[in-house]
Structure 1
Amino acid sequence: MLNNKKTYTVTEAKSKLEHYCAYQERCHKEVIQKLKDMQMIPEAIDVIVVHLIEHNFLNEERFAKAYVRGKFKMKSWGKLRLTSQLKLKDISKVNINQALNTIDYDEYIDVFNDLAEKKAKNITEANIWKKKKKLADYLLYRGWESNLVYDKVNQLIK
Structure 2
Amino acid sequence: MNLEKIYLERCDKETEETVEIESPKFLDTSISYFKKHLNEFLYIESSTFNEIKVDALSIEVDDVFRTYMALFGLRAQKKHGEAIKNYLEEHLHTDAIKNYSALFSADEGLWEINLPLDYIEGFKEDMTIGQAISLTYDFVQNLLGHLQENK
TM-score where L is the length of structure 2: 0.23
Structure in which a larger fraction of residues adopt helix: 1
Larger strand proportion, structure 1 or 2? 2
The structure having more radius of gyration, on CA atoms, is: 1
